[in-house]
Structure 1
């Protein structure tokens, strides 16, 4: 392990990290101004901080499904899920995906052009929305959780979601 290295910034809450190539890291944090901030490693050095705007409440998540592609998610001041992406040349504007969410987001991708997003709804259940050429409707995955879910994919058509339940235990659910 290396030593801890300060990357600076004025951050509030957690961090989302993604990688679209070898020696490439993209870090996303919620700034003290409630905007999404971005800092990246290009294999040689860290960039400066870049504001991506927005008015977010909770920790962001980020995922990459192809070279030069990053998708970021956060919960806005309106409690909806918001999405912003990098296409290799520029950042998109913010896109509302709706919903009434509390807490942060989890995201994963198991194929080119496939996104899976997870949030906690006002009913304390985990809710799922996915993209595969178009956005799906919201789907309840049930459960009673306290904090934002985390998601990962390790194979095509496979998604694993973990969350802390209302009983303070770790729960795991998967799609295969």
Structure 2
């Protein structure tokens, strides 16, 4: 290689690896929708992002609606199911045609609806459980769903779906003061679950190949439940809202957590997050009017 070509190659590498081309957060965008509870999101490996919102129907129940983030039609929202008033659903996605929504009935039991290709949402069926306050899901390879719930005892409960059936509920302990948030690490058998504790700090529990570790306390003080996503085996991104209504962000690199950084202000819900690939994720939240906003990182 000539000296001139070597110089050009070095310049090329340095230029395109500079901060100018590093992934970064984009501007805050709208979704043309409002919600009574925090937005719920999931994404498919093909890059499709699905957003679920809760709307009032002035009875014992609210309604869940959903849309594809890429849908640019005038009315992109479609009805999914009714839901116990004051709660939020959870969603799990394996592909653009393999969507699942979990929600609570009046007695605190968990129910599931699944997307039927070319037909829409199928019938509801019970996933059991009793006196549950809030839920979250995570997916792992091989058609594995992890379902997490905050029980009336304020501890975290877990059951898993794999090989075509559900395991029984199991208590994971903890003392929760928020809904849980969970994420499966990309293309691995590891899943992480988080919640806000009574001391307003966040707590983390990790499952590696169906073996749970011990609870780990994370620094910080927050007034909402967390949101979490992952785009790598050793990458987890965590979000939560502070008392001055700002969203803070920290990420785990496989060894340690980064310092918290402020992403956006005037947030009026807990955050929700999803990742669709390396250095590519979305953060969702509500403004003071209940409008669902989002920021993209890429």
Structures share a fold, TM > 0.5? yes
Displacement of 1:101:
0.9
Q: 2:283 aligns with which of 157, 161, 170?
A: 161
User: Larger Cα Rg: Structure 1 or Structure 2?
Assistant: 2
Quote the Cα distance in structure 2 between the aligned partners of 1:59 and 1:131. 21
Question: Contact 1:13–1:58 (CA<8 Å) still a contact in 2?
Answer: no
Are 1:15 and 2:158 counterparts?
A: no
1:38 counterpart residue number? 158
2:180 counterpart residue number? 60
Unaligned runs of 5+ in 1: none
**What does residue range 105-124 of structure 1 map to in structure 2 within 5 Å?**
105-124=226-245
2:40 counterpart residue number? none
TM-score (norm 2): 0.57
Question: Contact 2:156–2:173 (CA<8 Å) still a contact in 1?
Answer: yes
Indicate the SS of the match to 1:7.
Answer: strand
Deviations 1:97-136 (Å, cap 9, x if unpaired)? 1211112111001111100001111111111111013101
The runs of 4+ residues in structure 1 deviating greater than 2 Å are: 10-14
Q: 2:251 aligns with which of 130, 141, 144?
A: 130
Displacement of 1:16:
1.2
Unaligned runs of 5+ in 2: 1-120
- Root-mean-square deviation (Å): 1.3
Residues 53 and 77 of structure 1: CA distance in aligned 2, closer, same or farther (over 3 Å): same
Are 1:82 and 2:198 counterparts?
A: no
1:26 counterpart residue number? 146
Displacement of 1:72:
0.4
Structure 1 or 2: more helix by fraction: 2
Are 1:150 and 2:276 counterparts?
A: no
Question: Contact 1:11–1:29 (CA<8 Å) still a contact in 2?
Answer: no
Indicate the SS of the match to 2:233.
Answer: coil
Quote the Cα distance in structure 1 between the aligned partners of 2:296 and 2:150. 28
Give the number of the structure with larger relative contact order, counting CA–CA contacts within 8 Å between residues 6 or more apart: 2
Displacement of 1:3:
1.7
Question: Contact 1:127–1:140 (CA<8 Å) still a contact in 2?
Answer: yes
